[in-house]
Structure 1
Amino acid sequence: MPNMVISLLPFLLVALTGVSGQFKCPQGTGYFPDLEQCDLYYECSKGNYEEKLCPDGLVFDDSDPNHERCDIPANVECGDRTALQEAKPSKGCPRANGYYRHEDPEICDKFFNCVDGTPVELPCPPGLIYDDTSSTCAWPEASKRKCDHSKRDVLDDGFSCPEGDVAGPDGRKLPHPTFAHPDDCQKFYICRNGVQPQKGSCSGKTVYNEEIFKCDEPANVPGCENYFNGKS
C-alpha cells in the first residue's frame, strides 16, 4: 500500500469577533481566504464580512467559496499565504490540531493525532513509517524522512522478524513469511509485511512444515512425526 491515506473527520470551525479594515469582499457571497494568512478567512454576504480563524494547526481550504472548510496543511495549497496564527502547543502536539511525528525520534512507525491539544498515539501499518510531508504513513523508500529501521518489534518469547526477503516454494517473495517455532511443532510465527511479528498455531492434528510454509500432516515433517502421540 504505497499511498496510504488516512481518513479525516471534519473539524469544527472557529469564528473570530472583530473585522479587519483591509479586506474587501468579492462580488457575491461565500468564504474567501486572507491574502497573507492561510488559517484566516472571511465569510462574505451582501458586501459585509465576518473574519474567521481555523482551529490552531488547520488551514483554510479556498478551493470552493461555497464551502467552509479547514483541513490539515498537507491537503491545502496555501501558496503565498504563509503566515499562521500563533501556535498553541502541548506535550506531543506542536499545534493543537493535526497529525505529527512521534515525540521520540527513534519511533518512526507511530504518530500523534492531535485534537484540541490532546494527542492520541496511532500506529502505522506494518512496514510503513510516518511521513511529515504528506501527514500519512508511507513506505520508507517513498518518504524523505530518514529513520533507523534496525529496531524491530520483539515478541515476549524473544522472536523478531529476520531481515531480508523470504522466497516461497515457487521462488516468489512471500509478503507475509512464516517461520517454525523452535520448540513446538504446532506453533509458528507470521511476519506481517516482513517486519511485524505475530504468533500462529496450526489447527487440528497438523504441524507446521517450514519446507512448504504451511501446516501439514505430522508424517510429512521430520522430527514432528510423533508430536500428537499421547495427546488427547
Structure 2
Amino acid sequence: MKGCGIAVAILVSVLQCGAENRDVNNICLGAPNLSYVASLISCSYYYACIDGVAYGYSCEEGKWFSTELQSCVHPEDSDCDIEQPPELPTPPPPTPSPMCDDVPDFSYLPSTESCQIYYQCIDGFAYRLSCPAYYWFNVTAQRCGNRYEFDCDLDTTTSVPPTTPANRCAFEPNFGLVENPSFCDRFFFCMSGMEFPMICWNELVFDYEKQTCVSPDQSDCDVTEPTPSPEPEPNLCENVDDGQSVLDSRYCNQYLTCQNEIGVSAVCTDGLWFDQDQQECVHPIDAYCPHGGNSASPTPDVCIGIEDGAFVASPYDCDSYYVCANEVAYRLFCPPKQHFDADRNMCDDSSLVVCPL
C-alpha cells in the first residue's frame, strides 16, 4: 500500500482510526504480536499490538470491543465492564469567522500579525496556515514566496520562530525542503509534518531559498565540512539478485545496485525518492520510505478510500486535520485554541470539542 510515501499496512478491521497513545505502550507487554488489547478507559477503544507498540483504534459508533472475540461487537455481546461516561450535551453551533464574510470558499487571506501566517476561508470559517520559515504570504498571488519575490509590510520579528531540531517540519508545507543543521550536503523532505532524510547528489550542497541542491560556491552554508558518511550496511545486498537495487538505510533518495551481493551507491536527483518496489526514482507520493518521522510509530494512510475534498481528523493531535485529494493527505491546522471536530468536520473552540487524544 502506498500514499504520501509513508503508508503502513495495518491488519485491522475498523471503520475509524484513532491515534497511538504514546503513554500506553506498556499495555502490550506480554500480548501476542498482532493481537488486540482492550482500552482501560473506554469500551469503544482498543489497541493493536504490533512489535510491542500499541496503536489505538475506536469501534464504529454503537459497538464495543470484546477481548474474548477480538473484535467490535454489539454492547450486549461485549465483555467490557468499564463504566461509560455520561452523554455530552450537543454544543452550540460555532461562530463563523468575521474575516471570511463575503469571501469565496477556499480563498486565502493575510494575517495582520505576521507575513508568514495566512488563513483559508472555508464555509465561513478561517483556518490558520503557515508559509515555510523565512517565506511570506502574498494575497495578490495567493501563495507563499521568499523575500526576493514579495515585500512584507509588517514587522518580520512577528513571524513564527524557526522550528526546533526535533520538529523541523512543523511549519513546513507538504513537499517543502528544510536544511539539515549539521551538514551542508543533507536536508529533509517534509510530508504531513514529518521529516524524511535526504542527501544531495554530485557533491552539491542544499540551498533553502532555492529549495534544491546547488554548487558549493552558490551556497552560504557555513557548517563545517561534514564527516564522511558511514559505509553502507554490508548486508543490504545479501540474497539480492544481481542488478536489483535496494533502498539505503539512511536516506530516502539513496540506493544501492547489487552485484555479487556488493552494492554500488547512487542518489536520486531533484527531490525524487527511490522506490524499491518500482526499482526507480519517483515522486515521493508514489514511494515508500521507512526512514522518516518525528516518532517511532507508523503513520496511518488516512485518505485511502476517502473522497476528494473530505476532511479527516489527525490521529496524533486535536488541533490539526487532513484534507484528502487523490488519496493523498494534506495537513491543515485549526485556528488557535480550537480543535477539529470529526463529527461536524470543522474546527471549533476546544472547550466544545471532545478530543479523544
Category of TM-score, reference length = shorter chain: 0.3 to 0.5
TM-score by length of 1: 0.40
**TM score, norm. by length of structure 2:** 0.28
Which fold has the larger relative contact order, with Cα–Cα distance below 8 Å and residues 6 or more apart in sequence? 2
Point out the structure with max Rg over C-alpha.
Answer: 1
